[in-house]
Structure 1
């Protein structure tokens, strides 16, 4: 699964690696469990939702068929 991220001050989404996503989550939520939060994000974005964590949005990359 590919995940795109976008900070609130950015205009475009970018494909982001899982290791970078974990760093973003740790930076945005501090003491919370980054791996557990990533697991939640992956489940939630499967249903075409956009998840906001702090000031960063996460969504699944949609494949063009």
Structure 2
């Protein structure tokens, strides 16, 4: 699963690995179960949704995108 992230102040989406996803979520939610939040994000974006956690958005990378 290729996940992209975008902070509210950014204009482009960035491919993000799992380690960095957990770091970002930890920064955004603190100690509120970052692993559980990541599992929720992964499940929610499967249908093409964009999910916001704090000031960061998460989406599934489009297959035809570079």
Q: The TM-score by the shorter chain falls in which range?
A: over 0.9
**Partner SS for 2:24:** helix
Count of residues in correspondence between the two structures: 64
Instruction: Mark the runs of 5 or more structure 2 residues left unpaired by the alignment.
Output: none
Q: Following TM superposition, by how much is the alpha carbon of 1:31 offset from its aligned partner in structure 2, in angstroms?
A: 1.4
Question: Match of 1:4?
Answer: 4
Q: TM-score, normalised by structure 1?
A: 0.96
Instruction: Mark the runs of 5 or more structure 1 residues left unpaired by the alignment.
Output: none
Alignment of 1:17-56 (within 5 A): 17-56=17-56
Moved over 4 A (4+): none
**Partner SS for 2:28:** helix
RMSD: 0.5
Q: Following TM superposition, by how much is the alpha carbon of 1:62 offset from its aligned partner in structure 2, in angstroms?
A: 1.3
